[in-house]
Amino acid sequence: MASSISLPRAESTNPLLNALRIVPGILLLAGIGYAGKILEHSVNAYAKSHHWTFPNIEYVLWAILIGLIISNILAIPKIFQPGIATYEFWLKLGIVLLGTRFVLADVLKLGGISLRLVVIEITLSLALMTLLGRLFKLKPKLTSLLAIGSAVCGVSAIIAAKGAIDADDEDSSFAIAAILALGALSLFTFPAIAHGLHMTDVSYGLWAGLGVDNTAEATAAGALYSDAAGKVAVLAKTARNAMIGFVVLGYALYWSGRGQAEAITNKAAFLWKKFPKFVLGFLLMSLLVGFHAFSKGQVASLGNLSKWAFLLTFAGVGLRTNLRDTSKQGLRPFIVGALGEVLIACLTLGLVVGANRIWGL
């Protein structure tokens, strides 16, 4: 999980030893990701040579499935854990490099639309989750964590908010487990629904970016539909991530006002601390491409490097999803999360359909 990310965490005073600790897990991520890529080509070639009508299963899904099988059927030896935990680093690296595949005008146009939708989505999601939490009589801080996780950006938002609102470890674990389990479900439900509705790549990408909570799952859910949808999903999700500081600050002020969290002395510093800096890297890359800092071939190379980084991320998404751990968590937070997620998915789908009519996506 995000809380155990370490790159390179200083467990020992020897930096070389620390670097070596993450190597086995990174090799496992790369192996699973590459196996997914090989499977995509092999299965498609086999189906084609035998004249079968077989759906094109992309490497994204193969990598996630292999990871899920390994983490849920086999026990992953401890030696791999530090390296597996780097999947979030690869995700952020992939997002920064993906900036090269966007023309700045597209970022401004789609990003602008995304931001407007994000503000509506966050406002309605926070209100909805708070209402559900009260209806199901969840603890107030657990409700806050679930609301932040569902409205903004999943696990990372929950971890960022945990310290700010002084929530219990147990509440955080509940909220994280619910968000992760629901994120795993969305990987399969979002593309299926979108295919049924014949959504365009841009519309679906926006929906995945707005409706799927965790950045890794949103990226994967987008890429499962198409490469173009994956790009838009990352852009929409990045716009959503940019709002994390404002939402967490709002909750921190609310709880400190009630004397149940530390007071915020410097709001600007708080916002900067919580702001996801990789968003700036994404914009910088797009800007550099806009100023022709790279040739066409170099842009293609950077785009491919981004894909390799995502390959490791998708393997990590499967590996860190442990269904047994999830089932051990409480039922009520899960029901609240699930109900909320279904309603948020419907709400964001409605937003995207509305945006499509207004802006013709």
Partner 1 sequence: MSTDKSSTTPSSKGTSFSLDTWALIVAMLLALAVRFDILKNVPW
Instruction: Give the residues lining the site for partner 1 (CB under 8 A).
Output: 2-10, 13, 15, 88-89, 92-93, 95-97, 100, 153, 156-157, 159-160, 162-164, 215, 241, 244, 273-278, 280-281, 285, 288, 293-294, 297-298, 300-302, 304-305, 307-308
CA 306 to chain centre: 15
Distance between CA atoms of residues 166 and 61, nearest Å: 37
Q: Which is nearer to partner 1, 11 or 77 (CB)?
A: 11
Least Å from the CB of residue 137 to partner 1 = 28
Asked if residue 216 lies in contact with residue 318, where contact means CB atoms within 8 angstroms, the answer is: no
Q: Which is nearer to partner 1, 285 or 351 (CB)?
A: 285
Q: Which is nearer to partner 1, 15 or 112 (CB)?
A: 15
Q: Which is nearer to partner 1, 260 or 298 (CB)?
A: 298
Distance between CA atoms of residues 241 and 155, nearest Å: 11
Least Å from the CB of residue 193 to partner 1 = 26
Q: Which is nearer to partner 1, 153 or 234 (CB)?
A: 153
Asked if residue 133 lies in contact with residue 120, where contact means CB atoms within 8 angstroms, the answer is: no
Least Å from the CB of residue 27 to partner 1 = 18
Q: Which is nearer to partner 1, 89 or 251 (CB)?
A: 89
CA distances, 210 to each of 94, 258, 318 (Å): 19, 31, 21
CA 275 to chain centre: 16
3-class state of residue 226 by DSSP: coil
Least Å from the CB of residue 215 to partner 1 = 7
Q: Which amino acid is at 183?
A: G
Q: Checking phi first, is residue 359 left (phi over 0); if not, alpha (psi -120 to 50) or beta?
A: alpha
Q: Which is nearer to partner 1, 141 or 162 (CB)?
A: 162
Asked if residue 242 lies in contact with residue 276, where contact means CB atoms within 8 angstroms, the answer is: yes
Least Å from the CB of residue 88 to partner 1 = 6
Sign of CA dihedral 184, 186, 187, 189: positive
Q: Which is nearer to partner 1, 88 or 199 (CB)?
A: 88
DSSP conformation class of 11: S
Least Å from the CB of residue 294 to partner 1 = 6
Least Å from the CB of residue 249 to partner 1 = 13
Q: Which is nearer to partner 1, 101 or 349 (CB)?
A: 101
Sign of CA dihedral 85, 86, 87, 89: positive
Query: Which phi and psi (to 5°) does residue 321 adopt?
Result: -90, 105
Least Å from the CB of residue 51 to partner 1 = 28
Distance between CA atoms of residues 128 and 123, nearest Å: 9
Asked if residue 219 lies in contact with residue 91, where contact means CB atoms within 8 angstroms, the answer is: yes
What are the b/e assignments for 178-203, b being 16+ CB within 10 Å? bbbbbbbebbeebbeebeeeebbbbb
Least Å from the CB of residue 71 to partner 1 = 19
